[in-house]
Every structure is written in C-alpha cells, then in structure tokens.
Amino acid sequence: MALAAPVYTVTRPNQINGAGDELALVIEEFTGMVEGTLERKSEIQGWIPVKSVKGTATLTNYAVGESTLQVLDPGKVPDSTKNDFSRIAVTVDTVVLARAAFPLLEVFQTNFDARREVATEHGKKISKFYDQAFFIQAAKAAAATVSPCGSDGHLGGSVQTLGAAGDATDPAKLYAAIANLFVKMEQKDVDPRSDDITLVMPPAQFYTLLQAEQIVNGNYVTADGTSMNTFIFKAFGCPVISTNNTPAGKTIAGHELSNTRNSNAYDGNFSKLLVQAFSPRSLLAGETIPLTSKVFFDDLSKTWFVDSWLSFAVTPNRPEFAGSILIP
C-alpha cells in the first residue's frame, strides 16, 4: 500500500493576509520605488494638471471667444452679440513600457537587491521621458503664431531671441531677455506672477541667472497649494527651475509618443531653445493608464520580468501662456 504524499501548509511571505497574488507585496514594493523615484525626479509631476481619460481616447477642452461691448442708446433695444466657441483635443493612443528581464538562475545568484536598482532606473527614465514630453509641447505652444482656439480673443505664444550666443552665460543679459519675454507676454494680458508662469532652464543658465543681482531666493507654492519639490529662486516674482529634462539644444525625431495620427507631434528641432516660461494653462494633458508596475515570472522562458508602463498625452492649449528664449 502506497503512502499518501504529505500535505504541507505553505507560507507565502509576499501574499497579503495569505490570499491573492503570491507576489502582491513584491509588486507593491517595486511600484512604490518606481513612483517614489518619479516624484523625486520629475518637475512636471504635481505641477501640470493631468486629467483622467477613460471610456474614450480623446480629452477635449472648450474655449470661449471674447465678448463685445456696445454703447447703450436710450430708447433702443440693444443688439445681442455672440461669443465664438472652439475646442482643443488631445488623444491618448500610446502605451510606453520599461521592462527588465532576469534569468531564473541569476535571480538566486545576485548578491544585491536588483529589484530596487531596476525600480530606481525605471523611475529615472520615466520621469525624464514624462517631463520632456510636456516641455516639448510647452516649446511648441510658445512657438505657435496662432492659437488652436482660433483668433477670437486668443493669441499665439511669445518668443525672445538673445542678441548673441554669448548672452546665454551673461547674468545681466539673460535676466534682461527674461524681462523682454515677460513684456511680450503681458502685452497679451498674461500676468507672469498671477498666472503661475514658471521659468525652466538647463543647469548652465540656472546658475548663470543665480548670479544676477535682482534674483530672490524662496519657496514656491502653486495656486492650488502644490509645493514645488525642487530648489527654486525667483526672477520677476516667478519661480526658476533647473532641469536636464527639457529638449533645449536637441533635435528630436522618432519620439515614442509621435505617430501619424498626431502628425509626429513630439518631434522637432529645439537646437536653439534655451529657456522656457509657461503656465499650467498653456497645456492640455490626459492619461488613460497612470504609472503601473508589475513583477512576474514567465514559466515558458523561465525568466523574471519587472515592468513599468503608463499612457498619457499632452498638447498646447493656450499658447499665450507660454514663452521661450532662443539663442540666435
């Protein structure tokens, strides 16, 4: 008579309360590390509003044209006037993925926490990619000569070109260029301070500008109460951010979010771009899949995979709230 095989009660340390996905806590930890890195490294996260796009692929924003004034003539019924309506839309149609694969044997032989290192690298790469997509669209908003909302009370962006390439490393001339850019924006009824304009630039210009006598250091909180998680000083009352995530000095082709449906909207020549100034109002952004992560084992290939993915899109909304400083 054959003996019955023993039955063991197995402890699964990565399940939550002993039920569900056997890797739940691993996935939760990995996701937390990726999201934590994104929050630390991204300048855009928590600054530019991103709306949820569910049940459709397209996010739409409507714009109202300017009103018309008239003089009331005693004894006469005043004529009615119309406000034109227009809309801006952005379509979320691409999923972007970061994936790492670990052969089964190496998982057991690795003497450091590879999962933590991969999570950090996923977060760094995604944060740079995420920020750059927004900065690209802000640069295109600034370069737009007309508004996607039409011409009825809506205007294009603002561009200021330096007098010489060397002005990019001259504190006084760089500061003066910002002043000239803000003049152009204010002529379009954009108040850089009350409309939450933020200056974004590469580190070289950030530290150049820091030497200008007029600069004021301080913390910055957006109109909705969000505290900017970075070292910030102010120029003309507007916060200044240093980041390598802008497309400044680059020519971008074959961007992951570019396709024929959006006319390669994220590609462009930004070789002369130096400084950006824009408000959250300048962009329209939506996401269908927020940052998501998963750790799983593929039995067929005997390989562990660690994935992070998201799906979002962004487009110019109100170009008059965006400006750029270019080198000649």
What does the pLDDT average to over 95-105? Answer: 83
Contact 243, 264 (CB under 8 A): no
Band of pLDDT at residue 105, cut at 50, 70 and 90: low
Widest distance between CA atoms in the chain = 113
Contact 88, 51 (CB under 8 A): no
Please report, for residues 198, 261, 299, the alpha-carbon distance to residue 42 in angstroms, rounded to integers and kept in the order given: 15, 27, 35
- Look at residue 315 and tell me whether its pLDDT is greater than 70: yes
Residue type, 150: G
Q: Please report whether residue 33 resides in a domain.
A: no
Give residue-wise pLDDT tens across range 166-215.
999 999 999 999 999 999 999 999 999 999 999 999 999 999 998 886 66
Which pLDDT score is estimated for 68? 65
Region for 46 from its dihedrals, namely left if φ exceeds 0, alpha if ψ lies in -120 to 50, beta otherwise: left
For 209, phi then psi, to 5°, come to: -65, -30
Q: Please report whether residue 61 resides in a domain.
A: no
Give residue-wise pLDDT tens across range 149-162.
776 667 899 999 99
More confident residue, 301 or 216: 301
- Look at residue 136 and tell me whether its pLDDT is greater than 90: yes
Band of pLDDT at residue 132, cut at 50, 70 and 90: very high
Q: Cα(first)–Cα(last) distance of the chain, in Å?
A: 92
Most confident of 23-37, 54-68, 109-123, 194-208: 194-208
Q: Please report whether residue 241 resides in a domain.
A: yes
Q: Please report whether residue 162 resides in a domain.
A: yes
d(Cα 126, Cα 120) in Å, to the nearest integer? Answer: 10
- Look at residue 9 and tell me whether its pLDDT is greater than 80: no
Band of pLDDT at residue 32, cut at 50, 70 and 90: low
Q: Which two tokens stand for residue 248?
A: 């400044």
- Residue % of the chain over a pLDDT of 70: 72
Neighbours of 183 (CB within 10 A): 11
Question: In total, how many domains does the chain have?
Answer: 1
Q: Please report whether residue 9 resides in a domain.
A: no
Most confident of 106-110, 119-123, 280-284, 301-305: 280-284
Q: Which two tokens stand for residue 230?
A: 């970075």
Which pLDDT score is estimated for 156? 94
Sign (positive or negative) of CA dihedral 51, 55, 58, 59: negative
Which pLDDT score is estimated for 202? 95
d(Cα 98, Cα 185) in Å, to the nearest integer? Answer: 39
Band of pLDDT at residue 28, cut at 50, 70 and 90: low
Which pLDDT score is estimated for 235? 87
Q: Please report whether residue 80 resides in a domain.
A: no
More confident residue, 201 or 111: 201
Which of 270, 321, 314, 327 shows the shortest CA–CA distance to 157?
Answer: 321
Stated pTM of the model? 0.80
Q: In what order do the strands lie in the sheet with 283-298?
A: 51-52, 283-298, 303-316, 96-103
What does the pLDDT average to over 37-62? Answer: 81
- Look at residue 70 and tell me whether its pLDDT is greater than 80: no
Residue 189 structural domain: 39-56+87-326
Pairing of strands 303-316, 96-103: antiparallel
Which pLDDT score is estimated for 13? 46
- Look at residue 1 and tell me whether its pLDDT is greater than 60: no
Band of pLDDT at residue 130, cut at 50, 70 and 90: very high
- Look at residue 14 and tell me whether its pLDDT is greater than 70: no
Q: Please report whether residue 30 resides in a domain.
A: no
Q: Which helix (H) or strand (E) holds 238?
A: strand 238-242
Give residue-wise pLDDT tens across range 229-276.
555 678 898 999 999 999 999 999 999 999 999 999 999 999 999 999
Half-sphere exposure of 224 (CA within 13 A, CB side): 8
Q: Please report whether residue 15 resides in a domain.
A: no
Which pLDDT score is estimated for 10? 42
- Average pLDDT over the chain, rounded to whole? 82
Contact 100, 298 (CB under 8 A): no
- Residue % of the chain over a pLDDT of 90: 47
